[in-house]
Amino acid sequence: MDYHFIKLEIKDSCAVLTLNQPEKRNPLSSQVIDELTHAINYIQYDEVIRSVILTGTGTTFCSGGNLNDFPELNAVLGRRYMQKGHELLKKLVNIEKPVIAAVNGYAVGAGCNLALACDFVIASNQATFTQIFSKIGLVPDFGGMYFLPRLVGVQRAKELMFSGRNVTSQEALDIGMILEVVEHNQLMIRAESFANQFAESATVAIGMMKQTLNHSYEMTFDQVLNDEAFAQGISFSSNDFKERFQAMSNKKNSKI
C-alpha cells in the first residue's frame, strides 16, 4: 500500500510511523486512520521489527478529528468513523511490540488520546496535551475516558476533560500522564534510544505482558495469576525462550 498521509520507516528493528500532513496539523481523517491501521498490521507480522515509534511532522503531533469532515457527519457516518478509529486503537493496544509515542508538539482531542493509547509517551518540552472536547460540544473519544483516568486518576481526568484546558509536557509528566520530557531537538534521539532497548527482548513474552497488564485493572488477583501462568506456559514453549536460554547456558559454560 502506498501511503499518502503517513510515513513508515524501518530503522534497524524499530518502525517509525510519522503523521505527515503538517500543513493540516496532522489530523486523524478517515484516510489517515486507514493508513495507520494498514501499517500496524504490517508491523505486527514483520519478525524483524521489535518496537514502534509514533510521531508527527511540524509543530503538531496530531490535531484529532479533521474539522472539515465534521459538518458532513451525521449519526450513521459519525458512528462509522468512530468504529474505524476504534479498530485502529485495538490494533495499537494489542500489537505484541512496545509502542512509543514521541509527541513533538500539540496533541489535541483524539490526537491526545492516540498518544495515551501507546505503551509509553515521551514528549518534547514544547508539547501540549489538550482534551478539547467539551469546548466544541463533544465527549472525549478515541479511548480517552479509558486511558486518561488509568494514568492520572478519575478526579484529575474529570478536571482535564471538563475544562478542556491545555496541559504542558511538564505538567503531564508531573501528574503521571506521560513517561518523560526531553529537549525538543533530542526527542527522536531519545525515542529511538528508548525503543532500541527492546531490540533484544522476546516479542512473545512482551506480547503476553502487554495483554495481561492491559487487562489487569478489570481482573482479580486470582485472574491475574491465572493469566500469568497461561502466558508463562506459552513463553516456555516459544523459540524466543529456547534460543535465549541456550545462549545463556552456552555463555555460562564457556566461563567454567
Q: Would you say residue 1 lies in a domain?
A: no
Q: Which residue has the cell 479511548?
A: 143
As a whole number of angstroms, the distance between CA 131 and CA 116 comes to: 12
Same domain for 110 and 215, yes or no, is no
Domain count, the chain: 2
| 210, 119 contact by CB (below 8 A) | yes
Same domain for 215 and 186, yes or no, is no
Angle at CA of residue 254, ends 251 and 255, nearest 5°: 95
Report which residue type is found at 79: R
Point out the domain boundary residue: 200, 218, 245.
200
Same domain for 125 and 144, yes or no, is yes
Instruction: Provide the domain limits for residue 235.
Output: 203-254
pLDDT in the model for residue 229:
85
Pick from 18-32, 64-78, 134-148, 203-217: least confident: 64-78
Please name every residue paired with 180 in a beta bridge, in sequence order, or none if there are none.
122
Highest mean pLDDT among 117-131, 205-219, 221-235: 117-131
Q: Would you say residue 21 lies in a domain?
A: yes
Q: Would you say residue 214 lies in a domain?
A: yes
Q: Taking residues 32-60, what's their average pLDDT?
A: 97
The dihedral through the CA atoms of 117, 118, 120, 125 has a sign that is negative
Same domain for 184 and 233, yes or no, is no
Q: Strands 180-182 and 120-124, how do they pair?
A: parallel
Report which residue type is found at 105: G
Residue 144 has which C-alpha cell?
A: 480517552
User: For residue 214, how far is the Cα from the chain centroid?
Assistant: 12
154-163 helix and 144-152 helix, angle to the nearest 10 degrees = 130
Same domain for 233 and 193, yes or no, is no
Q: Would you say residue 240 lies in a domain?
A: yes
pTM: 0.90
Q: Taking residues 45-59, what's their average pLDDT?
A: 96
Same domain for 170 and 236, yes or no, is no
pLDDT tens readout for residues 128-157: 999 999 999 999 999 999 999 999 999 999
Report which residue type is found at 232: Q
- What mean pLDDT value characterizes the chain? 91
For residue 70, pLDDT over 80 is answered with no
Same domain for 44 and 101, yes or no, is yes
More confident of the two residues 209 and 77: 209
CATH number at residue 41: 3.90.226.10
Same domain for 241 and 143, yes or no, is no
pLDDT tens readout for residues 17-42: 999 999 999 999 999 999 999 999 99
pLDDT in the model for residue 95:
95
Same domain for 25 and 72, yes or no, is yes
